C-alpha cells in the first residue's frame, strides 16, 4: 500500500538546504511531533484527548490554580475549558476545592489517578522528544536549543 503524502503541511518540492524556510521546517517538525502525540493519546488506555492532556499538564504545573487561571494562561474559550475540566473531574482525574476567599472558585489539583495519567503522558513525550533529536550530539542539541530560543526572542520583539 502506498503511503499518503500531506502536501499541505510538507510543501510541494524540496528546495536546496540554503533556500529552505526555517519556520516552515519548525512547523513541519511540530506537525510530525503532534501527530505522534495524538497517536499515543488515541492508542493509549486512558481515553485522553490532546486538550485533556493540556489541561492536566497545566494543573500539574500549577496545582491549586483555578479554571480562570487556566483560561487566562491558554487564551481558550471559558465554556470549552469548563466542559474539559468537568469531564476530567467526572473521570476522577481532577479534584477541586473551594477557594478560601471566594468559594465560587475551585482550586484544582490532579488526583492520584490524574497524576498517574500525567506521568504516563510525560514519559511518552520524553521518548518522542528523544527520538526527535536522536543522532544529534549534546553540543548540537544545546546549539539547537539556543538557536530556537533566539528565534522565539526575535518573534517576541517583532
* Cα separation, 112 vs 106, whole angstroms: 18
Dihedral sign computed on CA atoms, order 39, 121, 65, 156 = negative
C-alpha cell at 100: 478560601
Q: Are strands 106-110 and 94-98 parallel, antiparallel or unpaired?
A: antiparallel
Residue pLDDT tens, the chain, 158 long: 344 444 444 444 555 555 678 889 999 999 898 888 878 777 777 778 888 989 999 999 999 999 999 999 998 989 999 999 999 999 999 999 998 888 888 999 999 999 999 998 888 889 999 999 999 999 999 999 999 999 999 999 98
User: Is residue 65 a contact partner of residue 59, using CB atoms and an 8 Å limit?
Assistant: yes
User: Class of the 21-132 domain?
Assistant: mainly alpha
Residue 121 in contact with residue 48, Cβ under 8 Å? Answer: yes
| Residues in the chain, overall count | 158
CA–CA separation, 135 and 137 (whole Å)? 6
The domain spans of the chain are 21-132
pLDDT of residue 42: 75
What residues contact 59, with CB distance under 8 A and at least 6 apart? 65, 70, 94, 108, 109, 110, 114
Q: How far apart are CA 94 and CA 89, in angstroms?
A: 5
Amino acid at each position: 500500500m502506498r503511503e499518503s503524502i500531506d502536501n499541505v503541511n510538507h510543501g510541494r518540492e524540496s528546495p536546496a538546504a540554503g533556500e529552505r524556510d526555517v519556520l516552515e521546517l519548525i512547523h513541519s517538525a511540530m506537525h510530525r511531533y503532534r501527530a505522534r502525540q495524538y497517536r499515543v493519546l488515541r492508542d493509549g488506555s486512558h481515553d485522553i484527548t490532546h486538550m485533556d492532556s493540556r489541561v492536566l499538564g497545566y494543573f500539574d504545573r500549577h496545582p491549586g490554580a483555578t479554571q480562570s487561571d487556566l483560561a487566562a494562561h491558554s487564551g481558550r474559550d471559558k465554556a470549552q475549558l469548563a466542559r474539559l475540566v468537568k469531564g476530567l473531574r467526572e473521570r476522577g482525574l481532577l479534584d477541586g476545592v473551594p477557594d478560601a476567599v471566594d468559594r465560587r472558585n475551585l482550586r484544582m489539583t490532579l488526583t492520584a489517578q490524574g497524576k498517574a495519567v500525567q506521568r504516563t503522558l510525560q514519559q511518552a513525550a520524553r521518548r518522542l522528544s528523544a527520538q526527535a533529536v536522536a543522532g544529534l550530539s549534546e553540543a548540537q542539541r544545546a546549539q539547537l536549543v539556543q538557536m530556537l530560543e533566539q528565534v522565539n526572542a526575535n518573534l517576541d520583539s517583532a
